[in-house]
Amino acid sequence: MFIASKLSVFAGWLALAPTVGAQAVYLINATGVPEIAVSVSGSALYPRFPQGLYTAGSATDSGTVRYQIQDPRSGRERTLTMAFPPGARQALIVHGDFSLPTAPARGRKRQAAPPNVRLLPLDCARPPGATGLRYRLVNLLPAPLRLVTQPEPLTVAGGGMLTVSGQPAVTTLTVEVSGSVMPVLIAQRRTLRDCDVIFYESGSGPAFIRFFEPSADSDAAAEEE
């Protein structure tokens, strides 16, 4: 059974208003735990960040940002560093289930290893000369998925991405994974934006998040209309 995560923008979590030349980064929680806590370069900006949601654009004047990501239930955490070019608008997917690597074989020295949580950046800039809408499928599931609503079915391997361009503002993407069929409705009526559909393991089954990318003249990602 698939779970469609309800899109929400944490507008109240906007740490700083993005300025010209600053980075605007949108965090998306596609982890396998119900809630995470995220500190950004030492500031506890998102102490309670539910699974399946995303933040408003967080600006920084530094190209290098340190993210400390914690699972409050287990207490496991990992610190990861990302570098962003000046003026970048990027989505940053937080994914993984915070599990620890299996114990080494007997007789081998045990080494401390970080929990399974990672960051995946997505560039939100539109390619020069692009026409129509771009919908990008991001498959964080181990199994491949098939997009069957195109003229020919397209397969996205586990850990892979697929971009379909020239798409309408209102459409349903039909996706198959592990023998199940999942319709993904995308409906836009006013401001038209490119959309990322992120498939991930929620801990209770496959789920997906729709993220409508910020437009060039806006610093906030759109909620689903």
Q: What would the 3-class secondary structure string for 125-147 be?
A: CCCCCCCCEEEEEEECCCCCEEE
Task: Let me know if residue 81 belongs to a domain.
Answer: yes
Q: How many domains does the chain have?
A: 1
Q: What is the pLDDT of residues 23-41, one digit of tens each?
A: 678 999 999 999 999 999 8
CA distance 38 to 68: 6
CA distance 67 to 4: 26
Q: Is the pLDDT of residue 145 over 90?
A: yes
Task: Let me know if residue 170 belongs to a domain.
Answer: yes
Task: Let me know if residue 220 belongs to a domain.
Answer: no
State the pTM of this model: 0.83
Task: Let me know if residue 64 belongs to a domain.
Answer: yes
Task: Let me know if residue 222 belongs to a domain.
Answer: no
Task: Let me know if residue 67 belongs to a domain.
Answer: yes
Share of the chain above pLDDT 70, in %: 79
Q: What letter represents residue 150's amino acid? A: Q
The pLDDT, as a whole number, for residue 196 is: 96
Q: Is the pLDDT of residue 223 over 80?
A: no
Task: Let me know if residue 107 belongs to a domain.
Answer: no
User: How are beta strands 206-212 and 3-4 bridged, if at all?
Assistant: parallel
Q: What is the pLDDT of residues 152-167, one digit of tens each?
A: 899 999 999 999 988 9
Task: Let me know if residue 106 belongs to a domain.
Answer: no
Residue 167 belongs to domain spanning: 3-101+112-212
**Residue 132: HSE in the Cβ half-sphere, 13 Å Cα cutoff:** 10
